[in-house]
Structure 1
Amino acid sequence: MRADAQRNRDRIVEVARELFRARGFDAVSMDEVAKGAGVGPGTLYRHFPTKESLYDAIIEAWSEKVNGAVDRALALEAPARVRLLAWLSDYAAMLTEHKGAAARITGALGDPGSPFAAKCQTYLGANQRLIEGMDSALRPGANAMQISRLVGGVAAVADNSELPADSVTAMLAVIADGLLASVNA
């Protein structure tokens, strides 16, 4: 890619990230992104044919961030509950980084045709790694989809309300206690 084209692409992604974060995915038009980035619509659509492809570009590094968070939680020298809560808290925080993302991503779980399918697979994979890394600390039958939907539901509520952080933490603790094979883990 030519240097000027790369600069345009980077600027588009930067502007879109800020707009999506501030107002949410659904509230931002592609025309607004183009104007904010100082490029024409043709340039925008040449790089990103759909709004979903633009959103994907915004969170390319996100997959590494998700996997890094689950790795950090699993590496903690702490009881299972502390490790689990570390991951659930990071997971909920990542879902709420972009306004409206928690509900969109959680709602797309299990839909391979969704424009958010890759993001869903990243979260499902991270939750599966958590299950495998926690050995027998989690209750039998707990699965990645359940964890994704439960935390996604809490994150969606947090994203669309004025809940204080301690209320979100309390809900995640209830989920953690339900996932653990023993509350004393």
Structure 2
Amino acid sequence: MTITTDKPLRADAQRNRSRIIDAARELIREKGLDATSMDEVAKRAGVGPGTLYRHFATKDELYDAAIQAWAETVNARADEALASSFDDRERLLNWLRTYVSLLTAHKGAAARITASLGDPGSAYATKCTTYLHANERVIAGLDSIRPTVDAMQMCRVVGGVAAVADQSELNAEAVEPLITVLADGFLEA
């Protein structure tokens, strides 16, 4: 568990923590979470293993901190999709493009997060909940969404497309027909 106190971190401890998080983000983007070791993160950050483990006891805790800004981005991007003046189909397509892009920003994240949906004990539960709530807001903001579509379904099916895109290293152009099919299936004719 990450060490938390009521006192703010000393300036040097905050710098170390930031360097660790930055190094983790870089390595996760380059190699994926599974292929990234805590030792590599410490080396890239220029800190000793003890310093790293004082801030993050597990790789999952480190991963959680490394993509925290991502959760804030998810909410902002859902709001942007809904705020546009496009019709429901285009607003949904914009959200689905964004959703796939966000899920694939960190190598291996799409499959991990999608597989963890509905598991409150998962190390990725916070991220899953963030996506679930974002999809709930998008669904509620679209008048022509099928009444049978729910946020968990949307998370799972779009997460599946994102996982395939991530693992197959598909570009946005190759993913576009897949999300178009999803959008058309989510909307009433």
Of 34, 38, 62, which residue of structure 1 is paired with 2:42? 34
1:66 aligns with 2:74: yes
SS in 2 for 1:61: helix
Distance in 2, matches of 1:91 and 1:57, equals 20
Deviates most, 159-168 or 4-13: 159-168
CA drift at 1:83: 0.1
Distance in 1, matches of 2:169 and 2:106, equals 15
1:166 aligns with 2:173: yes
**What percent of counterpart residues are identical?**
62
SS in 1 for 2:23: helix
Counterpart position of 1:138: 145
Of 56, 63, 73, which residue of structure 2 is paired with 1:48? 56
SS in 1 for 2:68: coil
1:151 aligns with 2:163: no
**Partner AA of 2:159 in structure 1:** G
1:90 aligns with 2:105: no
TM-score by length of 1: 0.96
CA drift at 1:74: 0.3
Of 168, 183, 186, which residue of structure 2 is paired with 1:176? 183
CA drift at 1:163: 2.6
Unpaired runs of at least 5, structure 1: none
- Length, aligned pairs only: 181
TM-score by length of 2: 0.94
Distance in 1, matches of 2:38 and 2:169, equals 28
**Partner AA of 1:38 in structure 2:** G
Deviates most, 51-60 or 162-171: 162-171
1:116 aligns with 2:124: yes
Deviates most, 83-92 or 61-70: 61-70
Distance in 2, matches of 1:163 and 1:64, equals 25
Distance in 1, matches of 2:72 and 2:19, equals 22
CA drift at 1:5: 0.5
Deviates most, 17-26 or 34-43: 34-43
List per-residue Cα deviations over 1:50-87 (Å, max 9, x = no partner).
Answer: 11111111111112100111101001101110000000
Counterpart position of 2:14: 6
RMSD across aligned C-alpha pairs, in angstroms?
Answer: 0.8
List, as ranges, runs of 4+ consecutive aligned residues in structure 1 with deviation greater than 4 Å.
none
Distance in 2, matches of 1:165 and 1:127, equals 20
CA drift at 1:164: 3.5
Distance in 1, matches of 2:57 and 2:169, equals 35
Distance in 2, matches of 1:2 and 1:10, equals 12
